[in-house]
């Protein structure tokens, strides 16, 4: 006689994220991963088309990352990072600074993307206070932004169903246009515009510059807010305007870092260096939670003082966890040794070639591709671009249909995207796109 299944046991005691536990389908009982595939308790094989929430880049259970984790566990599993240090943390900081945009010099560790952003907001605010400009406490963020689920990160995110229940807890930010070219806020056409949407950011900087601590953006690809792909000119303009108005530029590269957009970091598309950059997700290749907020020497030096009140009072119990740092170093080794960015560029080509024809389907409003991310914006009317957004029930319907075919995707409502680990092959990519085409061709609204 067999005992209860993993799903049976889960239902008794576990509460899942972003899940309506009363009505959601049973969770997938994943027991093993290898390469781009996940394996379930009941014997199914699923191609991981979303990199397990955007974190996995080298494939599941990679031998090199497994070895790095095991080796570090034999040396040191953890030690507090306040008053202590250890080789993996220092080595990883050195390695990050070597590949990050020039001018970033100091690494502050945390333990996920939301906290990396939270650190950046607090760091920017206290930076100005330490410099004697305590009035600079507000921020500019963009429409369609999503920066995480902690209070500061939610405040910087666009108001949405994610943030609405917590509205009374959030602080106000100034909100500027994003370069959402398919739904241009100015009604312009990308083929003839000159990124005039930057004018909204310039207006806010002019009006509020003396009270602003920073401008927070997701460079080149806004993720959970709609998988919005930017023109590089907009990113360059953000840096130019921050410089002109003396405001810190904060780049949230939690999603876009480590190759997702075809460059090691998305800021490279416009050859800009932010004053603060936030990293997580693929930092450890998808193995362990780790965040890093990296800044410049001038920002760091504003905290140096005989006055202990100028200390940056922020930290986490698992700051700079040695196991996570060791795996992150091994992940960077793979970038150096295995031509990872070239594989991402190949993947970009496969996605462009395979997804472009899907733009002719009646419910596909736009096809967008950047690096290793392919995006289909689904609409109910192509002429008016009408769409139901995140709560569009087409998302769950599509997810279920793909699962039946062995493909794990998790649409953001009407935004369907394919973001596999970089080790995906051309034939596996083509297969995944075939499943997307076949399912979308059979959808009836």
The catalytic residues are 18, 146, 252, 281
Name the region of 132 (left: φ>0; alpha: ψ -120 to 50; beta: rest). left
Alpha helices in 302-425 (DSSP H): 322-337, 340-355, 394-404
CA 13, 18, 21, 24 dihedral sign is negative
Instruction: State the SS3 of 1-42.
Output: CCCCCHHHHHHHHCCCCCCCCCCCCCCCCEEEEEECEEEECC
Strand, helix or coil at 432? helix
Q: How far is CA 392 from CA 228, 352, 415, 431, in A?
A: 18, 26, 9, 26
CA 100, 105, 107, 112 dihedral sign is negative
CA distance 146 to 162: 9
CA distance 225 to 206: 26
Alpha helices in 246-393 (DSSP H): 297-301, 322-337, 340-355
CA atoms within 13 A on the CB side of 100: 26
CA distance 402 to 413: 15
Closest CA to 331 of 10, 21, 16, 91: 91
**Strand partners for 106:** 295
Q: How far is CA 244 from CA 248, 277, 300, in A?
A: 11, 19, 21
User: For 218-362, where are the E strands, in sequence order?
Assistant: 221-222, 228-229, 248-252, 276-279, 291-296
Residue 267 DSSP one-character state:
G
Assigned token pair, 354: 């395979």
Residue 408 DSSP one-character state:
E
The tokens 């970033």 sit on which residue?
Answer: 104
Closest CA to 274 of 304, 252, 292: 252
User: For 334-445, where are the E strands, in sequence order?
Assistant: 364-370, 373-378, 407-408, 415-418
């Amino acid at each position: 006689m067999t005992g209860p299944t993993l799903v049976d046991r889960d239902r008794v005691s576990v509460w899942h994220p972003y899940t309506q536990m009363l009505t959601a389908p049973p969770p997938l009982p994943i027991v093993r991963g290898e390469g781009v595939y996940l394996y379930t308790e009941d014997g199914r094989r699923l191609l991981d088309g979303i990199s397990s929430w955007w974190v996995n880049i080298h494939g599941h259970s990679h031998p090199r990352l497994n070895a790095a984790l095991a080796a570090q566990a034999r040396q040191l599993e953890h030690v507090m990072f306040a008053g202590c240090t250890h080789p993996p943390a220092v080595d990883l900081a050195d390695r990050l600074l070597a590949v990050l945009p020039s001018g970033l010099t100091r690494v502050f560790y945390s333990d996920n993307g939301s906290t990396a952003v939270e650190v950046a907001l607090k760091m920017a605010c206290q930076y100005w206070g330490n410099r004697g400009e305590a009035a600079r406490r507000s921020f500019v963020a963009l429409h369609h932004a999503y920066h995480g689920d902690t209070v500061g990160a939610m405040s910087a995110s666009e108001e949405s169903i994610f943030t609405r229940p917590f509205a009374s807890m959030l602080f106000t930010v100034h909100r500027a246009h994003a370069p959402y070219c398919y739904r241009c806020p100015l009604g312009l056409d990308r083929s003839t515009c000159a990124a005039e949407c930057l004018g909204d950011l310039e207006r806010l900087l002019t009006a509020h510059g003396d009270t602003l601590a920073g401008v927070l953006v997701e460079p080149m690809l806004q993720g959970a807010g709609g998988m919005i792909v930017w023109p590089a000119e907009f990113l360059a303009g953000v840096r130019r305007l921050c410089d002109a108005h003396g405001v810190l530029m904060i780049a949230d590269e939690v999603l876009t870092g480590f190759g997702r957009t075809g460059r090691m970091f998305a800021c490279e598309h416009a050859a800009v260096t932010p004053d603060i950059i936030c990293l997580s997700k693929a930092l450890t290749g998808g193995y362990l939670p780790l965040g890093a907020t990296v800044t410049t020497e001038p920002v760091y030096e504003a905290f140096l003082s005989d006055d202990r009140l100028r200390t940056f009072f922020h930290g986490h119990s698992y700051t700079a966890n040695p196991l996570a740092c060791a795996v992150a170093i091994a992940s960077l080794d793979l970038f150096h040794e295995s031509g990872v960015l070239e594989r991402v560029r190949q993947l970009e080509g496969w996605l462009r070639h395979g997804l472009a024809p899907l733009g002719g389907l009646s419910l596909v409003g736009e096809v967008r591709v950047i690096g290793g991310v392919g995006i289909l914006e689904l609409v109910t009317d192509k002429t008016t671009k009408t769409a139901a957004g995140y709560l569009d029930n087409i998302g769950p319907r599509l997810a279920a249909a793909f699962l039946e075919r062995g493909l794990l995707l998790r649409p953001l409502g009407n935004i369907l995207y394919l973001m596999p680990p970089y080790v995906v092959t051309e034939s596996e990519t083509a297969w995944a796109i075939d499943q997307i085409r076949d399912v979308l061709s059979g959808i009836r609204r």
